[in-house]
Structure 1
Amino acid sequence: MDWITCTKSFVAVVEQGSLAQAASALNTSSSALSKRLSWLEKQLGVQLLKRTTRNLTVTDAGKVFYRRSVHLLDDWHQILAETTSTYGEVQGVLRIGAPLATGSRVLVYYLAEFLKTYPNIQVELHTVTPGQLPDLNLDVFISRELTDFNSTSYIATKLFSFQAGFYASPGYLEDRPAIETPEQLALHNCLLFGSHGHEQEHVFENNRRLRLRGNFTTQNPEALVAAAVAGMGLILVGENTVKRELSNGLLIPVLPELKQPLNAAYAYYPKLNYNHTKTKLFIDFIKQKASPGHTLQSASPQSQ
Structure 2
Amino acid sequence: MDRFHELTAFIAVVEASGFSAAAKRLGDSQSGVSKAVGALERRLGVQLLQRSTRRVNLTDAGRSYYQRMKPLLDEVAQADSELASSTMELSGLVRIAASATFGRLHVLPLVPKLLALHPKLKLDLQLTDGVQDLLADGIDLAIRISPTVSPDAVVRRVTTTSLVCVGSRKYFALHGTPKTPQDLVHHNCLIFNGMDQWVFDGPRGRHSVRVSGNLASNTVEAILAAVQADVGVGMFNGASLAGDRRDPDIIQVLVDFISETRDLGLIWPNRKFIPARVRQVTDFFATELAGRLGTSLGGIGAPS
Q: Structures share a fold, TM > 0.5?
A: yes
Correspondent of 2:283 among 271, 280, 284: 280
Q: Unaligned stretches of 5+ in structure 2?
A: 6-22, 32-38, 45-50, 57-75, 299-304
8 Å contact 1:168–1:251 — kept in the other structure?
A: yes
- 1:139-218 map, 5 Å: 139-143=140-144, 144=146, 146=148, 148-150=150-152, 154-195=153-194, 200-205=196-201, 206-218=205-217
Name the CA shift for 1:171/1:81 in 2 (closer, same or farther; >3 Å). Answer: farther
Q: Rg: which structure is higher?
A: 1
Name the CA shift for 1:281/1:246 in 2 (closer, same or farther; >3 Å). Answer: closer
Q: Which residue in the other structure is 1:257 paired with?
A: 256
Say which SS state the counterpart of residue 135 (structure 2) adopts.
coil
1:289 matches 2:292: yes
8 Å contact 2:102–2:239 — kept in the other structure?
A: no
- 1:1-304 map, 5 Å: 83-100=83-100, 102-104=102-104, 106-126=106-126, 127=128, 129-130=130-131, 134-135=134-135, 137-143=138-144, 144=146, 146=148, 148-150=150-152, 154-195=153-194, 200-205=196-201, 206-244=205-243, 247-259=246-258, 261-269=260-268, 270-272=271-273, 275=276, 276-291=279-294, 293-294=295-296
CA distance in structure 1 between the aligned counterparts of 2:124 and 2:159, rounded to whole angstroms: 21
Name the CA shift for 1:209/1:119 in 2 (closer, same or farther; >3 Å). Answer: same
Q: CA deviation at 1:149?
A: 1.6
Name the CA shift for 1:226/1:156 in 2 (closer, same or farther; >3 Å). Answer: same
CA distance in structure 2 between the aligned counterparts of 1:271 and 1:283, rounded to whole angstroms: 20
The number of residue pairs the alignment matches comes to: 241
Say which SS state the counterpart of residue 163 (structure 1) adopts.
strand
Say which SS state the counterpart of residue 175 (structure 1) adopts.
helix
8 Å contact 1:104–1:222 — kept in the other structure?
A: no
Give the share of equivalent positions with the same residue, in percent. Answer: 20
8 Å contact 2:161–2:262 — kept in the other structure?
A: yes
8 Å contact 2:191–2:234 — kept in the other structure?
A: yes
Q: Unaligned stretches of 5+ in structure 1?
A: 6-10, 18-40, 47-59, 65-75, 297-304
8 Å contact 1:155–1:271 — kept in the other structure?
A: no
Q: Which amino acid in structure 2 is aligned with residue 277 of structure 1? A: Q
Q: CA deviation at 1:207?
A: 0.5
